[in-house]
Structure formats: C-alpha cells, structure tokens
A and B are shown apart, each in its own frame.
Chain A
C-alpha cells in the first residue's frame, strides 16, 4: 500500500450565521486558503471529494452547490455524505488507488439555515422512534445519563470540559465561542435536556474546511512539509439504542484499535501527543477519550481535573476549542484533521501545544456516536 500525506489545509472562521455567504462562497474561501497553504493552484489538484448532507443543506444533490467553487469543473468529482473525516477517508483512498495523485476534500454546512431538531429527528427509525419526538440533543442526554450513571460522574465533572474548551478557544481566532467561564457558569446555564445544559452543548455554526491529500510520490513537491497519514479506520455500531450499550462505544474502541495497529502504535497513552475529537457535548470528550484507550473507563474526568488535557498538559485535547467552541456539522471532523495538521507543523499560533509529533483526529456519524472515524497523523513518514 502506498502512503499519503496532508499537504494543505484551509478553514473559514466558524460563525453563528454567515448570512452574507452561500455554501459556494464558504467553499471558495476554504479551498483558496488550502491551495495557498499548500503553494498549489487548482491545476495541481486532480480530483475532488466534497462532503455535504442533503438534509443539513436542504438541497437534493447538495454537492452541486459547491462543485464549481471547489474547483471540480473538468475534474473527477464525488461526494460523501456524513462527517468530514469520512469524506477525507474517501479522498485518501483516491490518492492511493493509482488513479489520482492529489485529492482536494471539502466539507461545509450552515447550521444557521437548519432546524436541527427536525433534521436529527429524521435520523431515527420512521416507524418505531420518530414519533417519540427524539432528536440529537435528547438522545445524547440519554447517553450522558447512561454514562454518568455507569461511572458515577456528576455534572460538575463533565462541566470542566466546557470550561477548558471554551477557554482554549480564546487562543483560536477561527473559533466561534471563545469564553472565559467557570464550572458554576456551566451548572447555572439553561437546562436543555437533563443533564445537558446550554454550556454542555456545542453551538449552531456555519463554516467550511478544505484539506489536500497527496500520494507519497508527489507529497514533497509542494510548499509544506507533509503531515503523514499513519493510521485510519472507521466503524459503525448497531442502529437501535436497545441493541447498543449506550454508556460505551464499541465502534470507537474498534476504530481506534485498528488505526493504532495500522500506525504501529502499541501504547497510545504514551505515543499520542495531542487529540482533536468530536465533543458535540461535554460528556462525549470524556467517553470518547476512554474508548480511544487514552484513559481508563470513567477516569478521564480525573485527568481532566488535574489539567492533563489542558493546552500545556500531558495530552492536550481539543486545543482549538473543539466543537463546543464551534460546530459546523459535516465540516466539524474535517476541522479536527486540519487542526491536528497545524499542530504537527508547529503552526497553530497561540493554541500551539508543546510536543506534537503524533496527533489523533476524530469524527462521528449518526446518533450518539454510532459511527466513528479515527485518523492518526504524524510528522514522520
């Protein structure tokens, strides 16, 4: 198998409402930033994968809205629906299949134009579940309860995630919600769905991210030092909650295990230097870290309390501020990859972490983390 690297990234600022910009305007900005970052022109790109959702975009064939702005005219194009980490996975295989050398991957969404509860309600089974009025937030509240019941964690434990990530966002100029808050602020914020309060939830956001993936045969030809894809895996759990252990995530444990194996990582706790993960809700950061094998089950909150996941901690988690500081659905996982790339290049600016040789980026599809995608990125081939 050939190897591939990420050689350019571009992100728009994440904002609550980019009312002056269409999907294409956002894609245009992110794509041009990625091309400039890589020192490439669109002529150096030989195929394009866009990531979008007909549901979140309110458009059938939603990729049509960004194809031109992503430079896909005259080029081979496809579209993955789901989180950006999955779109990037397909882009990665296209850079390795012998057909292409450089894949441009984009992911966009405008939460400002969405009614999130209706869109996520339609992810439930139409006959047995939808009529109950479930949506992403109520479902994740159930998962939070299951997780906290199993581990004995309290709302003040999970609230620390919000404090840390909104605090990290103060140092990230692209973040939507930089905030200096305390655990008390989180616990006093409006109750959305017990036990999730407003500051436990990621915001509604607009944004677009683009990355460029290159086959090893051309990766060194351009401006940036390549960041290598060492491990990559994804896995899907059962659909019905009754078939799953909601307090755990077997799919993430399997995806992470496979990604570590592919990357030759034996002890992820020692070998992973930073993590950008899909913290749509505070409890998820802890649960996901544990299922990735980066903390014992139920113990991530202790490490968090000790400051181990802070920017200057042993294992910085979401130094960018994560989804809690800005959550453009679909694009969110692609932002995680782009952030890890910046960290491994030492170019993350004020939110740069110390040692950053190997990083993990993570994305989620479906309800309560039914499907996970794990990327291991590295400075070295």
Chain B
C-alpha cells in the first residue's frame, strides 16, 4: 500500500544576485541546515537525498556526487532529477513518490542554483532543437514574449494588465525576508523600465539569483511525530506540451490546464477559486500571472485582468497569489520550483510569518520550464483520504 506523504520541514537561503562568500556546497548546506532545524531532525535521520539544478549554469557534472559534503549525502542514497525550470517542482514530486512508494520514511529534497556563475541565456538556448528551433529562439524570454503577445491579441489585454501583476508580486516580496528584490514599484515604474522583449519590461520579469532550498518529506507513520501541523501532499502532476515551437497553442498553457484538471479531480475540488486558500505560482514574468490562473481554472479565459485589478489575488484578497513575492522577486532557477513548494508548505503549516495568509486549508504550488512544462502540487492541512 502506498503511504501518505507530508512536508515536515523547509529551509532556504537569503537569496541574492551574487553570493561570492560561499561556494555551491556551502550554499546548499545553508538550506539543508535550516530545513533540518525547522523539522528538528539531524542528518542521520534522513533516509535518502534528492537533489537538482541545471547543469549548464554552474558547469558541474554529476552534481549528485559532487554535492554530498554540503548536502549530507555521504553513504546515503542520493539521486538527481533535472528538468529545466521545472527542476525544483520535479524534485518535490520526486520526493513525494519516493516516500509514498514505501521505500523511504524521510527524504531530504534540495534544489539550488548559483546563477552568478552562469551564462543563463546561453545555457537555456541549448535546450532547443539544434536544427529547427535554436537559431530562431534564444533563451527563455523570447518564448514568454510570444506567449504574452498571443494572449494580448486573443483577449485584448494590455501591458498595463501585466504590469499590475508585477506591482502585486513586488509588493508582496517586501514581506519576505528571503526574497532577493524587495522594493515596491508603481505601475508607471514597470511601464517605464527598459523593454527587453516586447511586451516584457525589465520589471515584468524574474532576476537570476544565487540560492538554495531544502524540503523534508516524511510518510504518515512519522510525519505527525516530527511536526505538529504537517503539510499533506494531496496530489502531484506534471505535463508538457512542446517538442517543437510550432506545437504550442500560444496564449494558452495547456500543460497548466492538464495538471489542474488532474489534481483537482483527484482531490474532489470543484471550485478552485473558492476552495483554494493561496497559490504559489512559478510565474517567471508578470503576464503569466494573468494567463495561467485562467488555465488553472481560477477564472475564465480572458477574465484574469479584471479579477486581478479588483485585488482578488493581493494579500487580503479572495485568493492571494505569491505571498512570497514569487519568481519575479527571486529566481535561483534549480531551487525556484522547490521554493514555491516550500512557501506553500509554510502557508499550510502556519509558518509564513509576515506573509502568512490566514486559515489556509488548501494551497497550490507550481513549476514551469522549458517545453511549456507545468508541474503542480496540491498541499492541504487535512490528511488526504
């Protein structure tokens, strides 16, 4: 029989654009120590370690083997999952399956990146097919700009709508001591910031960061003993929709719709807008904050701008999105998806301090990355049936 799984501890670094004071292993170790302290566990209590990042950023091969001194993996089972931008969320999903399978009781999950050591866009560009796609599609921002343009054309949205999302997340980030960019901006600031790829302005998009995140998952036999209010994982899902650029239905994120449909059905959630308490979305740029909550089924197609202008996704609104400030405030890529998961867990566990949403019953965290890939986890205060 499969075991039910909960998050019992989380830890993250204070993310910065550049951490010359630590090497990669030391960065990893900061997050691991915080997660162990949060769960009041020692490294000897951990049965297995799951780690991930994006290879071409730091240029370290076999990171699972290299990282053991920082991760605490000497003479333990260590495995690496790498799926691009989704890596952090894929790691969380991996931890879930490793614990749910019954193979391990307590698993430590680590996502990290030291982007200051990377040529980020150069590395991402190699993700695309060398013959058909690579010459016309550089880095991450070109695909995002294409998506935003398609959405604006289809639904009549404007760059002001995108900017409103940016204003929201950057305001939320001021409540999060771990975020890299903690400065409120106005709508005018966003629209006046340099244009990177039309319609994406500098303040619409994520930075690149040095940082790490660690999450400890445990099975139902021990979770309650480790943690008074564990964050139960109700479901996981991963879909991707692109092999070639031409395969994408630009302006819609089909993989998000597939994940949401699958998870909400499994958990019996019929009205996510009413039943979810908070969303931590891997939203690498502001326009995704419009498009993807539609694909998630929170509001209908084309309805996100109105919903967001009315303040529904702000702190104190009907369904706060990204209380942490989200990805546009902080983006250590291999950790980014796992930070979403950790932040959602902190919301359920009541540990989110200045960014806590009151009375969280269900939270959603997501990951996004290359090939229009979405990962999703549903977190809940109640133990799943």
**Does B101 make an interface contact (CB < 8 A)?**
yes
- Chain A residue at minimum C-beta to C-beta distance from B104: A93
- How many residues of A are in contact with the other chain, CB < 8 A? 61
Query: In the complex, which of the residues A64, A72, A127, A237 has the most CB atoms of chain B within 10 Å of its own CB atom?
Result: A64
Contact flags B41-70 to A (C-beta < 8 A → 1, else 0): 000000000001011100111101111110
Q: How many A-B residue pairs have CB under 8 A?
A: 186
**Does B80 make an interface contact (CB < 8 A)?**
yes
**Does A82 make an interface contact (CB < 8 A)?**
yes
Checking B78, B102, B129 against A371 with a beta-carbon cut-off of 8 angstroms, the contacting residue is B78
Contact flags A20-63 to B (C-beta < 8 A → 1, else 0): 00000000000000000000000000000000011100111101
**Does B298 make an interface contact (CB < 8 A)?**
no
Checking B66, B80, B84, B98 against A93 with a beta-carbon cut-off of 8 angstroms, the contacting residue is B98
**A239-B82 contact, Cβ under 8 Å, with A54-B54, A60-B55, A96-B2:** no
What chain B residues lie within 8 Å of A239 (beta carbons)? 65-69
What chain B residues lie within 8 Å of A236 (beta carbons)? 64-65, 68, 73-78
**Does B212 make an interface contact (CB < 8 A)?**
no
> How far is A75 from B241 in the complex, measured between Cα atoms in Å?
10
**A122-B238 contact, Cβ under 8 Å, with A97-B101, A365-B64:** no
**Does B83 make an interface contact (CB < 8 A)?**
yes
**A99-B243 contact, Cβ under 8 Å, with A58-B126, A78-B83:** no
> How far is A239 from B70 in the complex, measured between Cα atoms in Å?
11
- Chain B residue at minimum C-beta to C-beta distance from A79: B83
Q: Do B240 and A67 touch across chains, with their CB atoms under 8 A apart?
A: yes
**Does A81 make an interface contact (CB < 8 A)?**
yes
**Does B286 make an interface contact (CB < 8 A)?**
no
What chain A residues lie within 8 Å of B149 (beta carbons)? none
**A1-B103 contact, Cβ under 8 Å, with A60-B84, A61-B369, A93-B97:** yes
What chain A residues lie within 8 Å of B365 (beta carbons)? none
User: Which of B31-48 touch A at CB < 8 Å?
Assistant: none
**Does B10 make an interface contact (CB < 8 A)?**
no
> How far is A254 from B75 in the complex, measured between Cα atoms in Å?
8
**A122-B97 contact, Cβ under 8 Å, with A59-B127, A81-B55, A254-B75:** no
> How far is A3 from B127 in the complex, measured between Cα atoms in Å?
36
Q: Do B74 and A81 touch across chains, with their CB atoms under 8 A apart?
A: no
Q: Do B61 and A122 touch across chains, with their CB atoms under 8 A apart?
A: yes
- How many residues of B are in contact with the other chain, CB < 8 A? 61
Q: Do B129 and A367 touch across chains, with their CB atoms under 8 A apart?
A: no
What chain A residues lie within 8 Å of B258 (beta carbons)? 74
**A125-B81 contact, Cβ under 8 Å, with A64-B370, A96-B101:** no
Q: Do B81 and A365 touch across chains, with their CB atoms under 8 A apart?
A: no
**Does A358 make an interface contact (CB < 8 A)?**
no
Q: Do A53 and B78 touch across chains, with their CB atoms under 8 A apart?
A: no
Q: Do B62 and A366 touch across chains, with their CB atoms under 8 A apart?
A: yes
- Chain A residue at minimum C-beta to C-beta distance from B69: A239
Checking A54, A64, A240 against B243 with a beta-carbon cut-off of 8 angstroms, the contacting residue is A64
**Does A17 make an interface contact (CB < 8 A)?**
no
Q: Do A78 and B81 touch across chains, with their CB atoms under 8 A apart?
A: yes
> How far is A53 from B67 in the complex, measured between Cα atoms in Å?
17
Q: Do B66 and A123 touch across chains, with their CB atoms under 8 A apart?
A: yes
What chain B residues lie within 8 Å of A152 (beta carbons)? none
What chain A residues lie within 8 Å of B93 (beta carbons)? 78
**Does B163 make an interface contact (CB < 8 A)?**
no
- Chain B residue at minimum C-beta to C-beta distance from A234: B77
Q: Do A77 and B55 touch across chains, with their CB atoms under 8 A apart?
A: no
> How far is A119 from B56 in the complex, measured between Cα atoms in Å?
11
List, sorted by A's number, 6 A–B pairs whose CB atoms are closer than 8 Å: A1-B102, A1-B103, A60-B125, A63-B83, A235-B77, A365-B62
Residues of A within 8 A of B (CB): 1-2, 53-55, 58-61, 63-65, 67-68, 72-82, 86, 89-90, 92-99, 119-120, 122-123, 125-127, 232-240, 250-251, 254-255, 365-367, 370-371
